[in-house]
Amino acid sequence: MTVITLDGTGLALEARPGESLTETFRRAGLMMRDGCLRGGCGMCRVRVVSGTITLSRTVCEQALPLADRDQGLTLACRAVPTSDVTVAIPPDGKLRCVTPLLTALARHQSSLIGDVMGQPVAIRSGPLPELVPA
Amino acid sequence: MGVVRLGYIHVRVTDIEEAKKHYCQTVGFRLVKDEGKRVFLKGWDEWEHHSVVLEEGGIGVIKLGYKVAKADDLEVIEAKAKTFGVAMERMSAGDNLETADGLRITLPSTHTIELYHNMTVTGSDVGRINPDVFPRDLVGIGAPRIDHALLGCDNVNETEKFLIDVFDFYQVERLVPDLEHQDVSLATWLSSGNRGHDLALIQGEGYSGKLHHFAFQLQEWSDILHAGQIMSMDDVPIEMGPTQHGITRGKTIYYYDPSGNRNEVFADGYTAQRDRPTIIWTADHLAKGINYVNRTLAEAFTTVLT
């Protein structure tokens, strides 16, 4: 099982095999700033703080320069975790909860992840829609 | 007669196999020539050899081909273009597959436009004699043909003047800052025949040379919904629609190809006429002009060009 920890939010999400970060976020009722969802526009940039990802498709230099990749930046729509990862979404990435029902479910699952792995995952309490200030 | 229509568009894609699958299985275009890293496609109702060229390596537009009615038109346009001092050259037969000689012009917006008057006619899928109204073996959306392109531009006024003066396009609609500045084009919709637009331009810093989208032509509102249904089946990311534009009154969906080039399926609004007074949209009504029904614009719509 692969776990995506969202840096600074205390939220950990279970990633399904082959799923992009964006797909995991959406399945957890979360949205962030994005555009083409094809790796072409570069709007869904996030930073991989720890762990490893692979790009599921060729991403062109125009959308994500190699120099940026070297600094840990990637595109959420094309990034697929290859290990447990911690991902930081920049403020202009506007991460927000749009479907509290799904986020609550994801929190429940992530609390189970902690049990299963024997390493409790910190879950921040508080109103769900305020997961991250817009 | 001058320019007749958008005849072909040549774009870059990051993965040729994925692009082929999308444009053939989802859009429903037919592969007419496969050179490995470059492929040539056409729609079922197009009679010339090809209309879409996909080339692997990056994203964005390489060039657009506009058909002119007569060989003489090339000389007329060449003479007019000289007065503008733009980069221009004659292209030879064979520079483009199955295409005769023509004229290659760099617009003030830096886009490459090729004017041609003769491409090999291979016929549409329904033929010319007592044709059926569509082929029985349509795939996916089954788009009959390409429609138009919207290009990015640092200075719309400059390039639209060129297109009107040299290509004899006329302006169907125009986006202006406000009613006190109706001579300032922030975007322009230009036609050569009776379509709402054959070529459009949108202004933005650093937009010159870039593609906002190119469109596939559909006939009706129900075709637009059908296209959306196919897109959902194939996990195609939709940016807007199905909806209607205020501008041109066309029915539309904006979506992205597998590389992130923006495409549109578009069904005509009204019939444009050369003497119809140009319709003006003020910038404060942009959202209504683009997305008449919902009146919202995705952030990417005016910020992402490839």
Residue pLDDT, tens place only, B259-278 = 999 999 999 999 999 999 99
C-alpha pair distances (Å), B25 with each of B22, B31, B227: 5, 10, 12
Q: Mutate one of B13, B23, B259 to test the A interface: name it (highest A CB count within 10 A).
A: B259
Mean pLDDT of B118-144: 97
The pLDDT tens digits of the residues spanning B286-306 come to 999 999 999 999 999 999 999
Q: How far is B261 from chain A (nearest CA, A)?
A: 7
How far, in Å, CA of B24 to CA of B283, rounded? Answer: 37
Residues of chain A under the 70 pLDDT cut: 110-134
What pLDDT does residue A104 have?
85
B148 in active site:
yes
- Chain A to chain B, count of Cβ pairs less than 8 Å apart? 60
CA angle B107, B263, B280 (to 5 degrees): 60
Q: Which stretches does DSSP call E strand in chain A?
A: 2-6, 11-15, 30-31, 45-50, 53-55, 73-75, 79-81, 85-88, 96-97
A51 burial level (CB within 10 Å; 0-12, 13-18, 19+): middle
* pLDDT, position B283: 96
- Name the percent of chain B lying above pLDDT 90: 98
With contacts defined as CB-CB under 8 Å, which chain B residues touch A34? Answer: 300
Q: Which of B215, B236, B222, B217 is nearest to B26 (CA)?
A: B236
Domains by residue range for chain B, with CATH: 3-116 (3.10.180.10), 145-303 (3.10.180.10)
Residue B245 is a catalytic residue: yes
Cβ <8 Å between B237 and A62: no
The reply to whether residue B304 touches residue A41, judged by beta carbons under 8 angstroms, is: yes
Alpha carbon of residue B286 to chain centroid: 20
Q: Do B14 and A37 touch (CB under 8 A)?
A: no
pLDDT digits (tens, 9 = 90+) for B214-236: 999 999 999 999 999 999 999 99
Q: What is the per-residue pLDDT for A100?
A: 86
What chain B residue is nearest to A61 in terms of C-alpha separation?
B58
Which residue among B213, B239, B255, B256 is the active-site one?
Answer: B213
> Average pLDDT, stretch B100-105?
96
Q: What is the mean pLDDT of residues B78-106?
A: 95
Distance, in angstroms, between B26 CA and closest chain A CA? 16
In tens, the pLDDT along B28-37 reads: 999 999 999 9
The structural domains of chain A, ordered by start, are 2-124 (3.10.20.30)
Chain B interface, Cβ < 8 Å to A: 14-15, 18, 58-60, 237, 239, 256-262, 298-300, 303-304, 306
d(CA B22, CA B18): 6
Decide if A57 and B60 are in contact by the 8 Å CB cutoff: no
Q: Which of B56, B66, B245, B256 is catalytic?
A: B245
The closest CB to that of B260, out of A33, A38, A61, belongs to: A38
The string of pLDDT tens digits covering residues B68-84 is: 999 999 999 999 999 99
Most distant CA pair in chain A: distance in Å? 42
Q: Where does residue B284 rank: exposed (0-12), middle (13-18), buried (19+ CB within 10 A)?
A: exposed
- How high is the ipTM of this complex? 0.88
